[in-house]
C-alpha cells in the first residue's frame, strides 16, 4: 500500500517510518506551517532531509505558509499547550495531508505525531479516521510511542545526530527565555 506519512519532525518520523515501511511504500510529507520562527522551521526541515537521505526515502515539502496556519487557530492564541488550539493545529495539518494523499494517488495517510509522549493519541486517531471518511482516503491509526517507540526515536536521533527540538513548534508554545 502506498502511504503518505505526515512528518511533524525528524525525531518522531524515525520510529513511524521504520514501523510503517516494514509493510508499506512510505513517502514523507513535511507540512508544518505552525513551526516558527522560520529559523526553527529550517532546522527541523534540515533534520528531516538528513533522515530521508540516510534512510533513502522520499519526502515532499509543500510551501511554507504560516499565514494559513494562523487563520486555522485564530481566536485560540491565548489557550494553553494541549488545548483546543493544539487540536485545531493538528486537525489543520492532518486535513492538508489527507487531501494531498487523495489528490496524489496515495492509498492512505498516517502521522508521526503519535511518537511523542506529549500528544493526545486518541484525538489524533479520531480526527484521522474522520478525515479518512470525509475525504475518501485511508488512514492508518497508530500509537508509535508504544513498545518503547519514543525511546527508539531518541536512540535513532543520537545515532544519526539529528536535531531534537525543545518545543512543539508554534510561537505560542515557544519556551519563555529567561533574561
pLDDT digits (tens, 9 = 90+) for 105-154: 999 999 999 999 989 999 999 999 999 999 999 999 999 999 999 999 99
DSSP 26: E
Question: What pTM did the predictor assign?
Answer: 0.94
Categorise residue 57: left if φ over 0, alpha if ψ from -120 to 50, beta otherwise: beta
Lowest mean pLDDT among 31-40, 90-99, 163-172: 163-172
DSSP 36: -
Angle at 108 between CA 130 and CA 64, to 5 degrees: 85
The confidence score (pLDDT) of residue 176 equals: 61
Q: Which fold has domain 2-173?
A: Rossmann fold (3.40.50)
Residue 174 clears pLDDT 80, i.e. is over it: no
pLDDT digits (tens, 9 = 90+) for 47-58: 999 999 999 999
The confidence score (pLDDT) of residue 46 equals: 99
Q: Which residues are documented as binding site?
A: 8-9, 86, 89
Q: Which among 123, 109, 116, 119 is positioned nearest to 144, based on CA atoms?
A: 116
Q: Helix or strand or coil: residue 111?
A: strand
Residue 177 clears pLDDT 70, i.e. is over it: no
Question: What mean pLDDT comes out for the span 9-34?
Answer: 98
Residue 166 clears pLDDT 90, i.e. is over it: no
| pLDDT tier, 7 (very low <50, low <70, confident <90, very high otherwise) | very high
Q: Which among 100, 86, 77, 107 is positioned nearest to 30, based on CA atoms?
A: 100
Mean pLDDT, the chain, integer: 94
The confidence score (pLDDT) of residue 36 equals: 94
pLDDT digits (tens, 9 = 90+) for 43-83: 999 999 999 999 999 999 999 999 999 899 898 777 777 78
Q: Which residues are documented as binding site for [4Fe-4S] cluster?
A: 8-9, 86, 89
The confidence score (pLDDT) of residue 9 equals: 97
Amino acid at each position: 500500500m502506498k502511504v503518505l506519512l505526515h512528518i511533524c519532525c525528524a525525531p518522531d518520523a524515525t520510529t513511524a517510518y521504520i514501523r510503517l515501511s516494514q509493510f508499506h511504500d512510505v513517502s514523507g510529507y513535511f507540512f508544518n506551517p505552525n513551526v516558527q520562527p522560520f529559523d526553527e522551521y529550517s532546522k527541523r526541515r534540515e533534520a528531516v532531509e538528513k533522515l530521508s537521505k540516510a534512510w533513502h526515502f522520499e519526502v515532499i515539502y509543500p510551501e511554507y505558509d504560516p499565514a494559513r496556519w494562523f487563520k486555522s487557530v485564530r481566536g485560540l492564541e491565548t489557550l494553553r499547550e494541549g488545548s483546543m488550539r493544539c487540536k485545531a493545529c493538528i486537525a489543520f495539518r492532518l486535513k492538508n495531508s489527507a487531501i494531498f494523499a487523495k489528490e496524489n494517488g496515495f492509498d492512505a495517510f498516517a502521522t508521526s505525531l503519535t511518537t511523542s509522549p506529549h500528544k493526545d493519541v486518541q484525538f489524533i486517531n479520531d480526527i484521522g479516521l474522520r478525515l479518512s471518511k470525509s475525504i475518501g482516503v485511508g488512514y492508518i491509526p497508530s500509537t508509535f510511542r508504544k513498545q518503547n517507540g519514543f525511546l527508539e526515536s531518541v536512540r535513532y536521533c543520537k545515532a544519526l545526530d539529528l536535531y531534537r527540538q525543545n518545543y512543539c513548534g508554534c510561537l505560542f508554545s515557544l519556551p519563555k527565555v529567561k533574561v
